[in-house]
Chains A and B, each alone.
Chain A
Amino acid sequence: SSMNEEFLKKWQMGLQIFSPSIDNTSVSERKRAIKLSADVAMASLRKGTTCWSRALIQKTATEDNFLVRQMLSGIKEEPLINKKLPKVMCHRKIVRRSKKILMRRKSRSAMEEVAAKKLVKKKTQGLRNVVPGGEFMSSNVLLIQETLDYIISLQTQVNVMKSIVDAAEAGIER
């Protein structure tokens, strides 16, 4: 698929840019560079249009600002470093107030529905913890949309990395 190809190209570009550090340093430094370039490559596929990809770029830039800027310039995606994240919206008080009004008029089955929704809310908090930028996604609709896109991107990253690493290991055993 074209997403696989684009990820591979960008990841390879990142590895080339990092290769001086890949060749000369410790295994753990090398692994960090490999993982970093894979994450920047994956996030750049979205060109800043999703919250998770912007959050991931910012997270990697916090870990190694210089390397990330180098890589973004290498893959010609420099603007991504400046993409802002949405402000956290503190609307919990308003939601609680309108819920209280709703509750007064509901029947028992509707109350059960509300309890089920509470459970869903708890689980969506778990999602916010694993999706980059989740803390900035106040709407559950946005959270799940971003989650779907993040999963597709992760699958791409893992599939391509797996083919490369499997092929490399097979090449060595020969």
Chain B
Amino acid sequence: MKLITHNMLTSNIIKGVTKGFPLKIVAPTDKVQIVEVDFNPEFTSRMMHKLDYDALYTAAETLGHSEGLPKEVVPDFETNEEFLKKVHHVLMQIEVQEGELVCPETGRAFPIHNGIPNMLLKEDEV
């Protein structure tokens, strides 16, 4: 699971949950990998408008990979390639292979296995 995916997942599907974002990532350090993905500044710049940057920063920090990433979005983010490269790194190059995504409201844990989060609920949770 890349952080771009984490940034788009919520547990609002759970009955009664209104604040199901961001999900807390729990992952052992050895189950977090860095992979190389081609940097595309235009894509990263466009995605910036869709991201919850705080959630991205917190997720990267939780995984111990936030170094160099500014806590706040820089004013010229659309064209600042140095900044976009750092965003690209945390957004696309960090992968969680095993772990859990935890609902901030209920504590319900969704497993991540083989890099894939399982967001299915049981019948009584919907």
Are A and B part of the same complex?
no
